[in-house]
Amino acid sequence: MRRWATAALIATVAALLAAPAAEAARGGIDVVGKRRLSDRLVQLTLNSSLLAQPTHVRVLLPRGYARSTRRYPVLYLLHGGFDDYRSWTRMGRAEALTAGLPLIVVMPDTGPLGGYVDWWHGEPWETFHITQLVPWVDRSYRTVARRGGRALAGLSMGGFGAMGYAARHPDMFAAAAGFSAAVDSTNPAIQALTPPGTYGPFATQEIRWRGRNPVDLAANLRGLRLTMRTGNGSPGGPFGGGDGVEYVVHKASAALHDRLGALGIPHVWDDYGPGGHLWPYWRRDLRRTLPWLMNGFAHPQRPPARFTYRTIEPQYGVYGWRVRIERPALEWSELRTKGRTGFTLVGSGHALVIPPTRYPPHARLRVVYRSSRYGVIRGQARAGRTGRIAFAVPLGPGNRDQQYTAGARTVRTTMAVSVRPISGT
């Protein structure tokens, strides 16, 4: 155990720090078609190295973009199920609603169902949107290319995408809004509409479903500006109503609302009662949400100094932290940060954690590990020549069975790591 507490694994540090950049650089995007539909709206056909077929995106530019040199925030506006990238301009009046706003609106495509995730057997939509499309937009247009200049919004399945992307990549987006959002994939009615190849059977692959589920990922949303708007499917409302789909997504949205409330995470909750799963409501939702989004862009919040991040991924980066866990099976892990003073990691297997903090090159630090499994162990670690440092974190034997499968016994260890520079280094 002591060698874990004192090792400075510099070679592994370099490999782990390079991993996110390598993933983002994998392949690229080629524009193979372009149509200007109006003075503000352009439609693009893209070839991606990640997708089997060409895909499309519509981009709304602010008025006077060509004559300006300023940079603009970006709203990624996501379509719902059984629809595509054209729907927000064809039926959602996105062009008229954003007229006069200093805002770029990007409307990408995804599958008609099971969108905004990497399919277990199928297209990697999330990886395409996050590692290819967002960087391509920042390269191709004068964007505010940082967290405070990006937001997500979407309806129904697109609301799932908005909240899901925000929860899995909270360091990339400052705000997210869901309209009639299907944000709870444990809901049986939502599961029935999800293609089998998306996650696999719920009975044997529940961890894959939950690993993309905004309700399960709600803790990751702390520090973001959040809005949810939904009807309840009852008859009535200004534009009509009375449908089962809105009833289902209302239950899903309410589940996320309740979870955020239990965690003490502020958010706008607009449960407007009677209403249906209909475009007039979503147009109204967008109109009401845009001033809130623009205010957030004008007054961006700083990333949280302390945060909790839950994931099923064995390797990830968030807010400058890098984590890699060696374990046999998929399961939840959790990173809880305490700024420069340390962190807590929950899970199983052997982990390597690299905080974003930079120390003087080769600085020595006192490190204290505390866990119920190993007790208290004190040691030292040394920063690399770049000032970064890797902490080896033993979380006990890796669980052999995938979490939630029949007969699985998932045992997780909580390891708290405290760090203090040694004076004079």
Which residues are the active-site residues?
156, 243, 277
Contacts of 152 (CB under 8 A, 6+ apart): 75, 76, 78, 161, 162, 163, 165, 166, 173, 175, 176, 177
Residue 88 in tokens: 């927000």
Name the strands in the sheet holding 391-394, side by side, starting at the edge strand that comes first in the sequence: 315-318, 321-326, 350-354, 391-394
Residue 158, CA distances (Å) to 115, 180, 224, 335 in order:
8, 9, 18, 27
d(CA 367, CA 6): 8
Beta carbons within 10 angstroms of residue 70's beta carbon: 10
Three-class DSSP category at 17? helix
d(CA 373, CA 308): 22
Residue 9 in tokens: 């694994």
